[in-house]
Structure 1
């Protein structure tokens, strides 16, 4: 069982690295660096956030985060507005144009990366991968529930219809 657990953990690490490389490639195609993409993602998640909070959340130095925010503000991706609760600080938010672009194409580059890999497999192999992932994610959800961990925001994937989770256009 130890070898199986090690293989699965290493496989997850490998898949994570692949997805990170895909994110890096997409970020570069969009003209931003990976650290800039991380800042954009953190601002997106929080809607409005201070430099100090960005620094803490991203585990970057304040000067690095400030520099990134300045560059992204100059590109029209982020904007700074006075914090209504603390006039000494500013809130960092995404511009309306950036939000629109993100909402129109949100997960597509990442879905495409996975789709490209799945297309290397035969349809029955794709079904085996999907069922294995469904079982593994379900077991992780069960473990998280048993340990009192909140999983709701991470496991919407468990609630898609069994017959065709991706709609007609991308099905197998």
Structure 2
């Protein structure tokens, strides 16, 4: 069972890496560097985040992250606001302009990237992949419910199941 779990985890890591590389490629085509895209992605994931936490999450120095944030702020992509809980720090968030389009862009890019991969499989193989994902997501949902985890932080499993039926 452990070997299967390792294979699945490594497969998910590979898929996630592929998706990130697709997003990075798309970002570069729009004039945003890979480190800038990583910062934007991390801010997007957290809604509001400090330079310190960005640095820790991205495994970059605070000065590097601070420089990237400054460049993205001057481009109008990020906004810095005083942290209400700590007047010595600021919270980084997406600008209104960027936040309006980023959800659709990320979804479109992700869907196209996975669609391109799925097109390499025949229709029967595509069905097998879809059914396997449905089973895995269903098991994850069940495990989360038995352990009292809130699945809203991760994704809406019902939405996933309804969209794939």
- Judge same fold: TM > 0.5, yes or no: yes
**5+ long unaligned stretches in structure 2:** none
Q: Displacement, 1:134?
A: 0.4
**5+ long unaligned stretches in structure 1:** none
TM-superposition CA deviations, 1:102-134 (whole Å, max 9, x none): 144231101110011112222232222111100
Q: Displacement, 1:30?
A: 2.2
CA RMSD, aligned part only? 2.7
Contact 1:141 1:155 in 2 (8 A): no
Match of 2:163, SS?
A: coil
The change in CA–CA distance for 1:84 and 1:147 in structure 2 (over 3 A counts) is closer
- Number of aligned positions between the proteins: 165
Tell me the equivalent position of 2:159.
160
The change in CA–CA distance for 1:82 and 1:144 in structure 2 (over 3 A counts) is closer
Contact 2:23 2:106 in 1 (8 A): no
Q: Displacement, 1:141?
A: 2.4
Q: Which of the two has higher C-alpha Rg?
A: 1
Match of 2:121, SS?
A: coil
TM-score (norm: length of structure 1): 0.77
TM-superposition CA deviations, 1:35-82 (whole Å, max 9, x none): 212211222233333322322343332111101101111222112233
Match of 2:89, SS?
A: strand
Tell me the equivalent position of 1:93.
93
The change in CA–CA distance for 1:155 and 1:88 in structure 2 (over 3 A counts) is closer
Tell me the equivalent position of 1:81.
81
Deviates most, 40-49 or 106-115? 40-49
TM-score (norm: length of structure 2): 0.80
Distance 2:87 2:159 in 1: 45
Contact 2:82 2:89 in 1 (8 A): yes
Match of 1:13, SS?
A: helix
Distance 1:44 1:10 in 2: 25
Tell me the equivalent position of 1:9.
9
The change in CA–CA distance for 1:34 and 1:127 in structure 2 (over 3 A counts) is same
Contact 2:83 2:89 in 1 (8 A): yes
Tell me the equivalent position of 1:117.
117
Distance 1:143 1:53 in 2: 29
